Structure 1
């Protein structure tokens, strides 16, 4: 398997990108193609023992900065992100992984790979920590305005991801709404509910409220990109804030410090469960190629796990599952 990594994607490129690629190649036994400035990549790669690892470099003359408009995708044909996308299009790689400008990455994938036949709008989805493990939340930012048909297609794509990547035989699919009852929510959600209710191939469990998402009441939670983005960003901020609160309160109380030492394994486990680096990156569903998009601030661990998500999507024939679901 070959994964094309946009090595010029992260905020501190290519340092964590190369580190994550080395970790992924070693742990997963796959080929990770480093796409970007070959001189910078070679300099960084020289810091590691790469004997026995397949880490070829494909030079790309340019890069797309985080601050650039999506128009840069068309203007910079030889940017690392575009080169990596073309490799997938030309079957030279099985998936693309980038920590770069998310808007540009979505545009590059859409222009370069096209949509899967039958999909009207791609959606960005991400794993989300719950009391029962993880769920998959989509859309988390691409489509702030949707139609019932879009939500219906998001559900099909999310179910395919949950089956092929998360390994769930019959994932519970739900719509995010303001109430659990069938008649709750805006007209778009109610009409999407009616469409999903008719599809016997999907294990549709109805509506879930915001409180039900972290409780793990559904395996796939479908929403428009506006609400989905708020849910995931609020959760990220809340997790970081809660961990900070706990540390601050412990430091205020000498007696609590001793207790904290005993509870450290539990705190470490909680921190790991909430750590975005464990999830790797989001996956852009609906484009005709496996496309993983991560945070610009990603560290090597996050990049390694983003590559893992891409690997799992390819191994699970996720794109084929989406086509069959349609």
Structure 2
């Protein structure tokens, strides 16, 4: 329609438990939003289609024509260039060729990309890392992964290399070779086996015999409970050890911590900065800060991706 501004975008963030969708304006104002449970297997993609359609159809008539583009971000392995959901162990899909199905259903161009890559890019370009060319972003929760930006460019898996891990799998760097725990990836002693949310909760339960609901509980108790403090210190040590090679190779100026574990706040950032200061000798110690977008980084990133048209 001539004269109608195309200033709105549709963003969809697909997670292992829930899928979130929003229609937003350029200033970040949310015009429509909905969260659904993510179905298992390929049924998830039907649910994504329906979610986007409901959000678009529910807009006022004068807004629907203003939606310019959509972006859908997915977990696991993703081939953005060919719009393929390559693999997700948690959601049970493999080599799903999405093609133009979302664009056809919604009537607007739709981009596909990797959830953590987009979340880390958003934190770098628009959040805690904006204005800095060399940034490492860690998204920490059930797993640990992130992004690396060097010289103002995002490091990505080369286009077309399907079936390989996304760049930024920090959680699968082995740091406990001899006495580590088995990792689902097949290795032993990966960072995730010590420093992920579930690993921290399991370690505390193993040392105390008391089950805990989350890593946040362990962080909250670290100020008064010496066992909780020891578990946190062990997790921070593993995280720092996993970062050493990255820091020596690329010398980022800034490390940004996001995801659910970032709710630990200054306790986590200060402990990691202290440990890196103890370990680094020939490489400058980067600043360590909390993410600006928190657990909404993926959804905000998807909106920025839809608006920009690419990760740039």
Q: TM-score range by the shorter chain?
A: 0.3 to 0.5
The structure carrying a bigger helix percent of its residues is: 1
Give me the TM-score of the superposition, normalised by structure 1. 0.34
Higher relative contact order (CA 8 A, sep 6+): 1
Q: Compute the TM-score of the two structures, normalised by the length of structure 2.
A: 0.35
